[in-house]
Structure 1
């Protein structure tokens, strides 16, 4: 399937969905839409992912099957400046996928265009209608369940999940990622966006996902948010209790001392944060932080290795940067 990815004015730094699809998706990306870097190529900014031209608008995109909205602003709203590109995609007969809290299928103009041109509007954040409360049974599955947790949002939980999955598969293990957010759902083609789920049903939704994937040897559950985040801790707790993990991997951004966009809220020391995750999980299922992942983007290799060594020492477990370096030692720790 050929897809184009909309990432206006956010690529690559704040276009997490776009970058995730380029790095881990199976689709052929024919173009990225970004007004700020139009005329460049993806490899000019991210040399280690699938390459594609960067163009100014949907009118400049070659033939494709789907336009993916590859960014999600805080609050998940729809930017009106994207409307011409979505309109053009539908008029060309392309499906449109989005991971917003704004449901494209509920937009009267888009719904009419999709119906007229035979297109699908896929809102991947829309949860199933038949969710229930958790029964506390995720811990009964035979698969080993590893949950990625973080000190903040956007610390690398999804990236860690896919890098560990790929490394486990290279060892011959039947490993899968359990997607709990819009990017993971677009990459893997299934999952439930927990941050869109009714609070009473959120842990139950995660529990359902674990059971659905229980025939694998190892499940890497994609974490969301962080337990101490002033806005998003609720979804983190639901995933922690709903998945009943055997092991935790804690992600962090090198040098980050406060919550991004919430700078009045400092991050606790990483070992204290790891202890907090273990203590909060314990009443439902005893677990431990067995590995750490550090985002060292922007550092040179020497500084990155030094930062990782310090992070591993603070946590008391093996650590690495899963994009820059191999994950073998950290995979050993969780297995």
Structure 2
């Protein structure tokens, strides 16, 4: 499928979904929409992902150039920014599907529904969960697969990226490995999954358990995409649901060494790494004996020597192997989890 990625004024740093699709998706990215960087190319900002031109808007593309427009931004709260409306409207008038991972559903917008009907295209709200979910039964540990869950010191520290990189490295090493997607970007990349942060709280762990049971006997290793953080004042609930629903065997803690406070909540300082290890293992303990066996560090904000030094320091704090799975070889971490 040929897609355009909407990332206005957020590319590349704050366009997590766009970055994930560019790095791991199978679709051909025809263009990135970003008014702030129009006229440049993706490779100027992210040299190690699929390249594409950056244009100011959907109307800069030919009407038959793409099959779908993907909202490539995942803002706090998951709302729809009305400044995107013209691009969505144009895409639908072109006959393109529009795919979004927002809490605000496009399929609830009367104008978008009308345009989709008139032009024979589809509105896909990836964050809309199944309707038949129920509570967890505490049986995820019965599957044959080893379950590895990524957890984080905060939001947007690399849990999805680490999950994808480890699963890819495991398959390259000859292991039968799969990703269990729990967020909108992972679902768009993998083509299946449940958006756990949109599920009724009583059913959230059950939604994760259901995915583990669906894939667990088909693969030797399952890499579960983590969400949020145990210490995040807004998103700790989804973190707990994933931990208890997946009943993991091992944990990988993801961290950004340049971050000192919770993203979007500057009055909350990040606790010491050793405390994260203790608390994550304690939180998992009622349902599984999961241990933190490795760490993944996001060193995008550091230069070469500083990045290496930060990884060494992080490994010492964790008492476990660590690396940046994108910048360096993920083998160190893979050996710890497989």
Aligned with 1:51: secondary structure?
coil
Once the two structures are superposed, the pairs formed by residues 110-121 of structure 1 within 5 Å of their partners are: 110-121=112-123
Aligned equivalent of 2:288: 285
Aligned with 1:273: secondary structure?
helix
From 152, 155, 159, give the equivalent of 2:154: 152
From 303, 308, 314, give the equivalent of 1:305: 308
Query: Is the CA contact (8 Å cut-off) linking 1:278 and 1:288 kept in structure 2?
Result: yes
Provide the C-alpha distance between the structure 2 equivalents of 1:154 and 1:47, rounded to a whole number of angstroms: 20
From 192, 210, 213, give the equivalent of 2:212: 210
Shift of the alpha carbon at 1:269? 0.6
Query: Is the CA contact (8 Å cut-off) linking 1:4 and 1:61 kept in structure 2?
Result: no
Aligned equivalent of 1:247: 250
- Asked if residue 333 in structure 1 is aligned to residue 297 in structure 2, the reply is no
Aligned equivalent of 1:221: 224
Provide the C-alpha distance between the structure 2 equivalents of 1:160 and 1:122, rounded to a whole number of angstroms: 26
Provide the C-alpha distance between the structure 2 equivalents of 1:159 and 1:45, rounded to a whole number of angstroms: 17
Aligned equivalent of 1:187: 189
Aligned equivalent of 2:3: 3
Shift of the alpha carbon at 1:220? 0.3
Query: Is the CA contact (8 Å cut-off) linking 2:150 and 2:162 kept in structure 1?
Result: yes
Q: Could you give the per-residue CA deviations for residues 80-126 of structure 1, whole angstroms, max 9, x where no partner exists?
A: 11001000000101000000000001100000111111111000000
Q: Could you give the per-residue CA deviations for residues 4-62 of structure 1, whole angstroms, max 9, x where no partner exists?
A: 00000000010000000000000000000000000000001100000000000001124
Aligned with 2:148: secondary structure?
strand
Shift of the alpha carbon at 1:284? 1.0
TM-score with structure 1 setting the length: 0.99
Aligned equivalent of 1:324: 327
In structure 1, stretches of 5+ residues that fail to align are none
Once the two structures are superposed, the pairs formed by residues 9-88 of structure 1 within 5 Å of their partners are: 9-62=9-62, 63-88=65-90
Query: Is the CA contact (8 Å cut-off) linking 1:134 and 1:205 kept in structure 2?
Result: yes
Shift of the alpha carbon at 1:257? 1.6
Aligned equivalent of 1:163: 165
Provide the C-alpha distance between the structure 2 equivalents of 1:68 and 1:146, rounded to a whole number of angstroms: 29
From 115, 132, 136, give the equivalent of 2:134: 132
TM-score with structure 2 setting the length: 0.98
- Asked if residue 266 in structure 1 is aligned to residue 264 in structure 2, the reply is no
Matched residues, number: 335
Provide the C-alpha distance between the structure 2 equivalents of 1:95 and 1:120, rounded to a whole number of angstroms: 5
Provide the C-alpha distance between the structure 2 equivalents of 1:148 and 1:173, rounded to a whole number of angstroms: 18
Shift of the alpha carbon at 1:329? 1.3
Provide the C-alpha distance between the structure 1 equivalents of 2:118 and 2:147, rounded to a whole number of angstroms: 45
Aligned equivalent of 1:296: 299
Shift of the alpha carbon at 1:299? 1.2
- Asked if residue 232 in structure 1 is aligned to residue 235 in structure 2, the reply is yes
